[in-house]
Amino acid sequence: MKRFTSLLLAIDQTTSTSTKTELIAQYLQEESLEKNKLWTIALFTGKKPQRTVNTTLLRKWCAAEANIPLWLFEHTYHIIGDLAETISLILPEYNITSTSKSMSEWIEEMMALKNADEEEKQIFIINAWKSMDRPSIWVFNKLVTGGFRVGVAKNILIKALSMFTGQDPTKIAYHLTGNWTPLKTTWSELFNFQDITSDHSKPFPFYLAHALPNENIPDIDPQIWVAEWKWDGIRGQLIKRKGEVYLWSRGEELITDKFPEFQRLTSMHDDFVLDGEIVAWKMEKPMDFQKLQTRIGRKNPGKKIMSDIPVKFIAYDLLEVNGVDIRLKSFEERRLLLEKIYESCIGEVLKLSPLIHFESIETLKEVRNESKNYQAEGLMLKRKTGIYHSGRKTGDMWKWKVDPFTIDAVLIYAQRGHGRRANLFSDFTFALWDGDRLLPFAKAYSGLSDNEMKEITTFVRNNTIETFGPVSSVNPKLVFELAFEGISNSTRHKSGIAVRFPRISRWRKDKNPEDADTLKHIKELLSDSE
Amino acid sequence: MPLLEFSEKGIYCSQADCFIDPWRPVKKALITHAHSDHARSGHTQYIATKDSVPVLKHRLGSFINILGLNYGEKILINGVSVSFHPAGHIIGSAQIRLEYKGEIWVVSGDYKLEHDGISIPFETVKCHTFITESTFGLPSFRWQQQKTVFDEINNWWNKNKEEGKVSIIAAYSLGKAQRIIQNIDPSIGNIYTHGAIENTHEVLRRQGYNIKQGLKVENHTKQDDFQGSMILAPPSAIGSAWTKKFGQYEEAIVSGWMAVRGIRRRRNTERGFVLSDHADWDGLNMAIKNTGAEKVYVTHGYSEIFARWLTEQGYDAGVVKTEFTGDEETDLQQENQVPV
């Protein structure tokens, strides 16, 4: 555990990505236990161990150990902004006697507690706390709570693994995908560079686009580029190999069972790997994203929901055909092969994302304005000669979203944030006018600079009306412009509407609360968008 | 009428007609210590410890009307006996004791219990009512002994030196800078101090404090000369053009707030050492207990939370609202003045 903790502390103490890469490579070199290495990779790529002890219990036990009331623990937690860290800071000084286990041992013993009773769990957790120093307790708690986020982007890990194994980063990225787990997969299985076909379910790393930085990019020449709608669903990779169909989400979660529709494709003659969008689709057009969300929530959907909210896979790229990886072919070539696959497709669960040809960026801009009629978020631009890259790369693909809706709203509740926003008020609830009262309609967390958050933190301290646990209601004085992607009716919200992906676009210091928008106004936007 | 009241200008004693650390100009101000959120300009008369007079004059102007008292020396102001007692926060810092007709109040100012090797250590003053700071009044804040922290700092400095880098520590010129220069290991390398720090140190030396001399960063000093050395600079100088002349360097912040990972990350600083001139959770609780006070007012920090905790411990505890809220941001600015 010590070695892994030291690695995390060292990573924490640098902001340089090359130093982080070297630290991880060095750790892989020095760590002798294969299991520890595998868990490190798993954790850094977002594979969390299953949670077996809930946080309510952890809070209770920590407060009892420290001999403080639970309310004091909770208040402290809201200021420190991280549960694992709060516990590690609050626990009393123990005389560390027993020798600590390795990181993988702790994880696997913790996972084995799945069906244990509360007392057994308590003994395990408190013994663990008593056998570690504070930094290790912090790491251990992170493993238990599953909130494992360190400043290591996937690219850094891939680079480090490439340094360690001497293999090409793209290859590494591919081997890291899919459904492996340190519980079953060995190092040589994971990095079996000879036989990559051993696991039929294995997805390719997704190619992700940056937002088009500037509309006047002269490079967007219709000779060189094509456009497609940016579909508003969930990105997926649909794999059909050896009579089996697998569906992966962009987060590399296997979601095959959630969408049984696609099992029809098993009888197709060709094998293939498609990149595309899972979209709720009815009456020859896409449904609202919110409908799809109810499907995502169900593990095994019943007949009713499947007929109420049918889904389609809108294919826009082909990565592999009959066992041949074609990612290095040009988009144009891949597209032709994709169209062939599409023609032979059975059962109408596949759609082909139409190409949008255009004369100039100006005409394309007009097309983009039509996005909402297609339930699209905007356009994707693809270079005809571009290959299918791994991860987020600049150059061969851009996303070009439509401008979001904006509205001016009043800040009415504030809560302290987490992580690097610890002890700063950063989570806000905003309201709109409904007659002469302010009705909350959206929460937003992002969009402000640290300095603005500091300023608001001071404002909240001086303008708190009442506190409800961690939430402070404040004098309605500050106005912010909020941006969001969509509006829909909602029975769950007091305001009767729900907005999608709300964020703060700017602080309207020039506006008074009276100048904020009304609920009526936002409902007009709603009818416009329908 | 209670001996002390809480007014818009600060803590007020009507019997003696004087304020303690007021934040608006008043006639008579008793000053616990020379940090700018406690010692503001514009008062007609200042009363402070003799040890803080030179720094107060250095900061507020030599023309201020100021009376300096020895620690423990009593003066009578309209029947109120007033005395200053060591608070261990910085050089010259004091708790202020007021006694009238047998009733004793103590205003803590900022304090810490650990002896830092420079300022006169905190002294328990028995009282009926204690007004305490609570900057770190949460159970998550518990300090290690300063020796442990200085070992960490020395190790960091050594490591940077081996890598051919300069070490820069952001240190507030009054308090942290002295504590650091007196306690780090000078055998590791040269120690340079920024002019703003050296000026304060010169003031302290003239009044008899043996503060170690730092080398001056001159315009003509070459980059190579800095290699492996330690630079102490006020936080405002960090990240400015001034640091360019040192070549490759690592920087660190030294503050109690560095105990919180989120704050460390937000500062975007590579190293944070947890060392504070304020009492930690255990220190606050112990100091309060030792005063024997039944009534405790909490100010300057997580006041509501700490007062609720004290109430549950059997004290008659309340909150004093102040303009110096002692929150992390202003305090970090105050102690370390780190630009965000």
Q: Please check whether residue B60 lies inside any domain of the structure.
A: yes
Give me the residue label for tokens 């009593």.
B74
Greater pLDDT, B325 or A24: A24
| One domain, residues A250 and A297 | yes
| One domain, residues A269 and A384 | yes
| One domain, residues A340 and A470 | no
Residues within 8 A of B (CB atoms), A 455-474 only: 457-458, 461
| One domain, residues B202 and B244 | yes
Q: Please check whether residue B67 lies inside any domain of the structure.
A: yes
| One domain, residues B109 and B233 | no
pLDDT digits (tens, 9 = 90+) for B42-74: 999 999 999 999 999 999 999 999 999 999 999
pLDDT digits (tens, 9 = 90+) for A232-276: 899 999 999 988 999 999 888 889 989 999 999 998 889 999 999
Mean pLDDT score across all residues of chain A? 89
| One domain, residues A12 and A132 | yes
| One domain, residues B128 and B221 | no
- So what's the pLDDT on residue B237? 81
- So what's the pLDDT on residue B336? 29
- So what's the pLDDT on residue B268? 66
Strand A405-416 versus strand A210-211 pairing type: unpaired
Q: Please check whether residue A230 lies inside any domain of the structure.
A: yes
Residue A49's CATH number: 1.10.3260.10
| One domain, residues A383 and A449 | no
| One domain, residues A233 and A335 | yes
Give the C-alpha separation, A129 to A84, whole Å.
12
| One domain, residues B152 and B237 | yes
| One domain, residues A431 and A372 | no
| One domain, residues B33 and B62 | yes
Q: Please check whether residue B105 lies inside any domain of the structure.
A: yes
From B323's Cα to the closest Cα of chain A, the distance in A is 10
| One domain, residues A300 and A414 | no
Domain closes at, from B273, B288, B319:
B273
A468 pLDDT band (50/70/90 cuts)? confident
Domain closes at, from B273, B289, B316:
B273
Mean pLDDT score across all residues of chain B? 90
Q: Please check whether residue A201 lies inside any domain of the structure.
A: no
Binary contact (B327, A461; C-beta < 8 A): yes
Residue B320 scores a pLDDT above 80: yes
Residue B325 scores a pLDDT above 60: no
| One domain, residues B103 and B202 | no
| One domain, residues B215 and B286 | no
pLDDT digits (tens, 9 = 90+) for A1-14: 889 999 999 988 88
Greater pLDDT, A79 or B111: B111
For residue A287, give the DSSP letter.
Answer: P
- So what's the pLDDT on residue A284? 86
B339 pLDDT band (50/70/90 cuts)? very low
Q: Which of A76, A418, A450 sits opposite B340 (nearest CB)?
A: A450
Distances from the Cα of B277 to the Cα of B122, B175, B180, angstroms: 11, 8, 12
* Window from A1-10, A399-408, A483-492, B166-175 with minimum mean pLDDT: A483-492
Q: Which domain does A462 fall in, by range?
A: 405-529
From B221's Cα to the closest Cα of chain A, the distance in A is 28
Q: Please check whether residue A164 lies inside any domain of the structure.
A: no
Q: Please check whether residue B339 lies inside any domain of the structure.
A: no
The dihedrals phi and psi of A368, each to the nearest 5 degrees, come to -60, -35
- So what's the pLDDT on residue A46? 83
Closest CA to B142 of B243, B274, B31, B269: B274
| One domain, residues B123 and B153 | no
Residues within 8 A of A (CB atoms), B 28-87 only: none
- So what's the pLDDT on residue A293? 84
B327 pLDDT band (50/70/90 cuts)? very low
| One domain, residues A339 and A415 | no
Residue B212's CATH number: 3.40.50.10890
Distances from the Cα of B15 to the Cα of B30, B130, B230, angstroms: 14, 18, 51
Domain closes at, from B273, B292, B322:
B273
A111 pLDDT band (50/70/90 cuts)? very high
| One domain, residues A303 and A280 | yes
Q: Which of B266, B305, B325 sits opposite A72 (nearest CB)?
A: B305
Using a 10 angstrom Cβ sphere, with 0-12 exposed, 13-18 middle and 19 or more buried, the burial of residue A117 is exposed
Residue B26's CATH number: 3.60.15.10
**% pLDDT > 90, chain B:** 75
From B312's Cα to the closest Cα of chain A, the distance in A is 9
Q: Please check whether residue A397 lies inside any domain of the structure.
A: no
Q: Please check whether residue A174 lies inside any domain of the structure.
A: no
* Tokens (6 digits) for A366: 């007009």
Average pLDDT over residues B275-303: 94
Binary contact (B262, A454; C-beta < 8 A): no
Give the C-alpha separation, A398 to A475, whole Å.
43
Helices (H), A401-492: 450-463
Binary contact (A86, B140; C-beta < 8 A): yes
Residue of A nearest to B321 (CA): A462
Greater pLDDT, B178 or A462: B178
Give me the count of residues in chain A: 530
Residue B176 scores a pLDDT above 60: yes
Domain closes at, from A123, A145, A167:
A145
Residues within 8 A of B (CB atoms), A 88-117 only: 89-90
Q: Please check whether residue B172 lies inside any domain of the structure.
A: yes
Write the CB contacts of A331 (distance below 8 Å, at least 6 apart in sequence): A226, A317, A382, A383, A384, A385, A386, A387, A388, A396
| One domain, residues A305 and A385 | yes
Greater pLDDT, A191 or B82: B82
A217 pLDDT band (50/70/90 cuts)? low
Residue A524's CATH number: 2.40.50.140
Binary contact (B271, A73; C-beta < 8 A): no
Q: Which of A69, A85, A424 sits opposite B261 (nearest CB)?
A: A85
pLDDT digits (tens, 9 = 90+) for B191-203: 999 998 999 999 9
| Longest CA pairwise span in chain A (Å) | 74
Strand B166-170 versus strand B230-233 pairing type: parallel
Binary contact (A422, B271; C-beta < 8 A): no
Q: Please check whether residue A226 lies inside any domain of the structure.
A: yes
Q: Which of A13, A89, A457 sits opposite B259 (nearest CB)?
A: A89
Residue B333 scores a pLDDT above 80: no
Greater pLDDT, A467 or A439: A439
Residue A198 scores a pLDDT above 80: no
| One domain, residues B253 and B323 | no
| One domain, residues B212 and B66 | no
What's the CA dihedral at A70, A71, A75, A80 to 10 degrees?
0
For residue A232, give the DSSP letter.
Answer: S
B306 touches chain A (CB under 8 A): no
- So what's the pLDDT on residue A529? 53
Residue of A nearest to B267 (CA): A420
* Window from A410-414, A494-498, B23-27 with minimum mean pLDDT: A494-498
Average pLDDT over residues A52-78: 95
Give the C-alpha separation, B318 to A468, whole Å.
20
- So what's the pLDDT on residue A462? 82
Total domain count, chain A: 3
Greater pLDDT, A198 or B127: B127
| One domain, residues B9 and B87 | yes
Give the C-alpha separation, A393 to A371, whole Å.
25
pLDDT digits (tens, 9 = 90+) for B231-243: 999 888 877 788 8
Q: Which of B262, B325, B329 sits opposite A82 (nearest CB)?
A: B262
Q: Which domain does B127 fall in, by range?
A: 5-141+277-334
Distances from the Cα of A211 to the Cα of A215, A259, A392, A398, angstroms: 10, 29, 11, 6
Q: Please check whether residue B20 lies inside any domain of the structure.
A: yes
Chain A CB contacts of B262 below 8 Å: 80-82, 85, 418-423
**Catalytic member of A142, A202, A230, A291:** A230
Domain closes at, from A390, A424, A458:
A390
Q: Please check whether residue B340 lies inside any domain of the structure.
A: no
A454 touches chain B (CB under 8 A): yes
Average pLDDT over residues A65-88: 94
| One domain, residues B33 and B96 | yes
Binary contact (A15, B328; C-beta < 8 A): no
Residue A242's CATH number: 3.30.470.30
| One domain, residues A383 and A414 | no
- So what's the pLDDT on residue B189? 95
CA distance from start to end of chain A: 55
CB B172 within 8 Å of CB B139: no
Residue A193 scores a pLDDT above 80: no
Write the CB contacts of A199 (distance below 8 Å, at least 6 apart in sequence): A178, A179, A180
Domain closes at, from A361, A390, A419:
A390
A130 among known catalytic residues: no
Is residue A438 helix, strand or coil? strand
Q: Please check whether residue A175 lies inside any domain of the structure.
A: no
pLDDT digits (tens, 9 = 90+) for A317-370: 999 999 999 999 999 999 999 999 999 887 689 999 999 988 888 888 889 988
Average pLDDT over residues B9-30: 95
* Tokens (6 digits) for A193: 């560079």
Q: Please check whether residue A506 lies inside any domain of the structure.
A: yes
For residue B214, give the DSSP letter.
Answer: P
Total domain count, chain B: 2
Using a 10 angstrom Cβ sphere, with 0-12 exposed, 13-18 middle and 19 or more buried, the burial of residue B270 is middle
Strand B66-69 versus strand B45-49 pairing type: parallel
